[in-house]
Structure formats: C-alpha cells, structure tokens
C-alpha cells in the first residue's frame, strides 16, 4: 500500500505497523485459528485437528506478496490464504480448515482485528497527547493571551484554557474510540449467506467461541451487508483527525512570525527550510495537519461503500480494505506528529502579553461598557454604553490617541468611571470570567477519565 517514499511523514508512529500487509495476513490467520479451536470446543472438529491448524497460523510462514498476487483468482486474499494454510497443515487436519466460513468472514474479521490492534496503540498515543495538554492547561492557567475571533483579537483568554479546549477534543475522541473498541468491533461469521448452514446447530456456539478467543464482540447476527460498524470506525477516526487538525492549525498560527506566542524546540536542524535557514517552522504541527487532512476523503470513501446488496455484495466490501488501512495509518501518523509537536512545544507568556498590549486596551471595550452600565446603576443603558465606548475606540484608532484618555475625557464615562477604575477595566487579567472554572472542570474530567 506504500512505496516508502512518504512513510516517514505520512506513516509515522506505531499504528502503521499494525495495518501492514503482514498485520492483515496475521489477522486472517488468527481468525482461522480461532475458528478451528472454537469448532473443536463445540464438537464440530477433532481437537488434534484444531491444534494442527493453529500451529500453521503464523504469518511469517507465508509470502504476503504471493498471496496478494493470487487474490485475483477469487477476488480476495482469503481464498489463496486458505489454500496455502490447507496445504501446510497435516493431511488428517486439512479437511477441517475454514470449515463453515466464507472469504468475507475472514476479511471482515481481519478488518476488525486490525482495527482493534491499531486502536490499542492509537489510544496510547492519544493518552500521551492528552497528558501533555493537561499539563499545559495547569501550568499556564493564569497566562493571559488574546482570544481570537475571525482571526482578529477579541477579549482575553488564558493559554491554560486554550490547552484545556484542545484537551477536550482529544479526550472526546478517546472516549468514543474506547466505546467502539469494546462494543462495535465484532467477529464476522455467517458462512455463504449469513445462516451458517454448514455447521447445523453448532453455528452460534462456534461464533461465540471465535469472539471470545479473538477478544472481539459477538454480534447478534452476521453483518455481511450491514456496514454500520465500518461507518462508526470511519466516523471516530475522522473525529480524531478533526481534533488533531484543530490543534495543529492553532499551533501553526500561534507560531507565525507576527504572532510568535509558541514555537517548537526541536533538535538541530529541525524546523529549517531548504532555502530559508532563518525560519523556525513548527514542522511536527505541520505534518500533523497534513496527515489529518487526508481523513475526510477516506471517511467519505468508506461511507460511500456502505450500500451492500442482498446477502453478500459484489465489490462493496472489497472497496473498504484500502481506505480503512489508509485511514488508520493517516490517523496514527497525525496523532504521532501531534504528540511530537506537543513534546517540542515552548510557550512565550511575555509575547502573549505584548500582543495583548498592542491594541492599547481596545479589546477590553466590552468590559468598559459593562462597567459603565454597572457604575451608573443602569442610568446608562447597555446599548448606549456600547455606543459611547465604541466611539472612543474609533477615535483612538483614527487618531492614535490613548484610549484611557479618551474614555476618561468623555462626559458620560467620566461622570461614572475614574481613571483608576478605567485602568482596572482595561486590564486583561480582570476580564477572564469563568476561564479558571472552565479549566478546572476540564482537568477534573480528564482525571476522572484517566
């Protein structure tokens, strides 16, 4: 699925290995081994035959490329794998290989196993990101910075609250990943048309045995053409990439030369440019955004393949294999690069404060208006106060005057607010509302989930 050229960037982290061709092949063999053992438990096949089959279920004993090449004969790799497995087991056990199953049972269960194993390491990466974000939220709880709306400075926030917001997206993705891992990654076992007719009355006991042995959920019935499980996997991976992309976008914006409120501290040479050696690019955040940006198209491909006709579809389940692997891989890469970016992240509180002061207090206009209404005991209405303060702000912008002088010199404002009170109202640290409380709630939720 990859020629290796872009793997360092787009297949970073531990998830990539879990979705390789070898990983898929091992998952298919794991199904065959679990099927044999579960069939023996149910009295369908002899126990020695099951043991003989399991001994031959090691991916290292098979040629992934050769099996893939022979997949064109039947339209999927399960067929040639079953033939190769049958040829490898002891003759007296050969008749019991793959008994009662169909190719889609193998490939769908392998997809669930590959996904489960990728989720396990992905959760570890996400947990690392969340722990760093929780640390940032706590450390910078009182570090005031400009809030930004439509890319323009707005009333102040704290960097701690910003980090807590990032944490919320990662924590939500972890919660949903965990639910899907537990409840929705299920064995596929239905035979030719979802009846398990070849096993008589033993079909459901064998199904339950396979699920227990593989650590997957036991479905109520086969889901050959009911693809909500795949859709949910696609959705949560898209959600995860969305959370990563939001953080990565914020970090790249905050690291702009003109903003410079954060930067990545990498090793020597990290963040440079092939032609502009002066640059300090937030490379890991850039790569996180790049990997996450591939997710929407892959999610759409999986959702688009969800219409499966009759009891077994012609081509729709085949259409899922590559985008599922790529979506798992690119999500893993995105999260890996986000973790790297957060590990490298350095915060500049002084620059945050300097950027706040660039406006000369203009972004506190709302606070002054509210203070005027309160000081006048509503003799000045909310709208009137806003208009008066807005006029002072316009004059400060047009003439370059000092905002506090213009406010103090206004007849209405000066009547109710002295310079000392105006200075308090223009201090960003005094207009943070419930920022601290929200941050504490976010950290408490993270601790509870942890």
Q: What is the pLDDT of residues 392-405, one digit of tens each?
A: 999 999 988 899 99
Beta-carbon count within 10 A of 414 CB: 13
In a shared domain, residues 231 and 371: no
- Is 312 a residue of the active site? yes
Contacts of residue 345, defined as CB under 8 A and 6 or more positions apart, other chains included, come to 132, 136, 251, 262, 263, 264, 265
CATH of the domain at 167: 1.20.200.10
Residues 199 and 181 in one domain: yes
Q: Indicate the residue among 316, 337, 352 that finishes a domain.
A: 352
β pairing state of 345-347 and 144-149? unpaired
Are both 390 and 255 inside the same structural domain?
no
The verdict on residue 440 lying in a domain is no
Tell me the whole-structure pTM to 2 decimals: 0.93
CATH number at 409 reads: 1.10.40.30
Establish whether 351 is a catalytic residue.
Answer: no
Per residue in 83-125, pLDDT (tens digit) is 999 999 999 999 999 999 999 999 999 999 999 999 999 999 9
Tell me if 57 is assigned to some domain.
Answer: yes
Q: Verify that 181 and 276 share a domain, yes or no.
A: yes
46 plus 175 within the same structural domain = yes
- Name the residue among 177, 171, 146, 143 with its Cα closest to residue 250: 146
Alpha helix positions (H), 222-364: 228-254, 283-292, 295-304, 321-344, 349-357
Given the residues 312, 329, 339, 344, the one annotated as active site = 312
* CA 94 – CA 156 distance, rounded (Å): 71
Q: Are residues 85 and 121 in the same domain?
A: yes
Q: Are residues 346 and 416 in the same domain?
A: no
Cβ pair 320, 241 in contact under 8 A: no
Q: Structural domain of residue 204, as residue ranges?
A: 6-352
Number of domains in the chain: 2
pLDDT category, 187, cuts 50, 70, 90?
A: very high
Q: Same domain for 38 and 148?
A: yes
Please give the structure tokens belonging to residue 212. 């227990």
Whether 263 and 372 map to the same domain: the answer is no
- The pLDDT confidence band at residue 266, using thresholds 50, 70 and 90, is confident
Angle formed by the axes of helices 321-344 and 103-139, nearest 10°: 20
Q: Is residue 435 situated within a structural domain?
A: no
343/364 same-domain check: no
Domain end (from 292, 321, 352): 352
Kindly report the number of other CB atoms within 10 A of residue 410's CB atom.
Answer: 17
Q: For residue 343, what pLDDT band results from cuts at 50, 70 and 90?
A: very high
Q: Evaluate if residue 273 carries a pLDDT over 60.
A: no
- DSSP label at 158? E
- Domain closes at, from 307, 328, 352: 352
Residue of 58, 149, 182, 273 marked active site: 273
Average pLDDT over residues 408-432: 95
Tokens of 258: 């003109």
């Amino acid at each position: 699925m990859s020629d290796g050229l872009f793997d360092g960037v787009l297949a970073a982290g531990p998830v990539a290995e879990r979705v390789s061709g070898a990983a898929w092949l091992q998952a298919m063999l794991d199904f065959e081994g679990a099927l044999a053992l579960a069939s023996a438990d149910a009295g369908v096949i002899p126990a020695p035959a099951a043991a003989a089959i399991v001994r031959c279920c090691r991916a290292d004993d098979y040629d992934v490329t050769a099996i893939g090449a022979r997949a064109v004969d039947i339209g999927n790799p399960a067929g040639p794998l079953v033939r190769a497995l049958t040829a490898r087991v002891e003759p007296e056990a050969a008749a019991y290989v793959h008994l009662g199953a169909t190719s889609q049972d193998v490939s769908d269960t392998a997809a669930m196993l590959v996904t489960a194993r990728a989720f396990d390491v992905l959760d570890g990466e996400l947990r690392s990101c969340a722990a760093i974000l929780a640390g940032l939220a706590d450390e910078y709880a009182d570090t005031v910075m400009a809030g930004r709306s439509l890319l323009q400075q707005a009333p102040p926030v704290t960097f701690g609250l910003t980090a807590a917001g990032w944490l919320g997206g990662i924590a939500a993705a972890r919660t949903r990943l965990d639910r899907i891992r537990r409840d929705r990654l299920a064995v596929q076992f239905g035979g030719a048309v979802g009846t398990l007719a070849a096993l008589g009355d033993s079909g459901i006991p064998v199904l339950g045995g396979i699920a227990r042995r593989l650590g997957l959920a036991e479905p109520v019935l086969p889901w050959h053409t009911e693809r909500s499980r795949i859709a949910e996997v696609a959705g949560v991976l898209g959600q995860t990439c969305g959370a990563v992309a939001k953080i990565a976008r914020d970090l790249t914006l905050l690291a702009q030369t003109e903003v410079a409120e954060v930067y990545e501290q990498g090793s020597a040479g990290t963040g440079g440019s092939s032609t502009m050696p002066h640059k300090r690019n937030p490379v890991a955040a850039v790569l996180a955004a790049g990997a996450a940006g591939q997710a929407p198209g892959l999610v759409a491909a999986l959702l688009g393949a969800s219409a499966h006709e009759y009891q077994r579809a012609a081509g729709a389940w085949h259409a899922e294999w590559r985008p599922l692997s790529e979506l798992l891989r690119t999500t893993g890469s995105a999260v890996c690069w986000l973790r790297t970016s957060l590990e490298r992240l350095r915060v500049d509180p002084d620059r945050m404060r300097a950027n706040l002061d660039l406006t000369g207090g203009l972004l506190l206009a709302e606070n002054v208006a509210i203070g005027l209404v309160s000081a006048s005991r509503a003799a000045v209405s909310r709208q009137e106060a806003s208009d008066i303060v807005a006029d002072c702000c316009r004059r400060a912008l047009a003439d370059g005057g000092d905002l506090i002088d213009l406010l103090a010199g206004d007849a209405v404002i000066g009547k109710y607010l002295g310079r000392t009170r105006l200075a308090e109202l223009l201090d960003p640290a005094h207009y943070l509302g419930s920022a601290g409380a929200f941050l504490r709630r976010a950290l408490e939720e993270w601790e509870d989930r942890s």
